Amino acid sequence: MNATEKTILNPLDSLEEWEENLLERYPDPEDIAQGKATEAYRNYEAPVRDTVKEFYRLNHRYQCYDFVLEKEKDFLRFDKKEMPVWEAFQFLNQLVDDSDPDTDLDQMQHLLQTSEAIRADGHPDWMVMVGLMHDMGKVLCLFGEPQWAVVGDTFPVGCAFSDKIVYPEFFKDNPDINDPRFNTKYGVYEPNCGLRNVHLSWGHDEYVYHMMKDYLPEPALYMLRYHSFYPQHRENAYDHLLDAHDHEMFKYVQLFNPYDLYSKNSTPPNWTELRPYYEDLVAKYLPATLKF
């Protein structure tokens, strides 16, 4: 793939741009209290970065029902690579973007900052594991996947797209928008069928959920699987698909979200001090090697 093709497929300068955009759309309540009007957020008419808008144009055009099923079939076989857990973190760190002017912290350091914030607040160690593992699915980029198929707010496919999804106007180019199987409120689903029966747009959330589903408790798995499902856990746009169990479990998704958004800072964690704790924690929950 040449440089032009890479730019077309991957419009963000770095994967962190999407996360920075989340901070603009879903700010820390304390930041709002310090004087910035809530109307200043979710400003899609004049976004800070054109690259974010282009990212979502591609995401909404190509994330259709058939695309998601194809990616699930391909990647959920976990036959691409197998490696020790800590080697997997080194693999993930290949995603560091030296052109990013805002941070020189690698992926592992962000994960440690998230997990350390969770640990400092006294949450159970399985939630600390969520902080450590929640972005592991970004390794999809290292298997040649474009950014719009790895990160981004997630949403159901196979039914009508909600106008609560960021940049809903871009769905006009999605093939499902004119398909009568998929463009009604419920589409291929039944009312309140439960999210376990719903396909969400493909990305690192779904991938890491399947990677971890045999090892972590259910609240942890909801955090992993739905931490980018902003149309629901911030907008309640898909209550008609959730069942009672989903509603109960989403309190865990909402608990985790602020740690992911607001734990970043410029001070890297002290890995020398933290290493014994995290090596023991990972050994408690995960096998010696992971399949990708």
Q: Choose between 31 and 273: higher pLDDT.
A: 273
Domain boundaries, the chain: 3-291
Is it the case that residue 49 has pLDDT exceeding 90? no
Tens digit of pLDDT for each residue in 106-159?
788 889 999 999 999 999 999 999 999 999 999 999 999 999 999 999 999 999
- How high is the pLDDT of residue 263? 81
Contacts of 10 (CB under 8 A, 6+ apart): 146, 147, 148
What percent of the chain has pLDDT above 70? Answer: 85
Model pTM score? 0.86
Tens digit of pLDDT for each residue in 222-246?
999 999 999 999 999 999 999 999 9
Tens digit of pLDDT for each residue in 162-191?
999 999 999 999 999 999 999 999 999 999
Q: Which two tokens stand for residue 154?
A: 């997630």
Q: How confident is the model at residue 41 (pLDDT cuts 50, 70, 90)?
A: very low
Going by C-alpha positions, the residue among 263, 268, 215, 20 that lies closest to residue 119 is 263
Contacts of 169 (CB under 8 A, 6+ apart): none
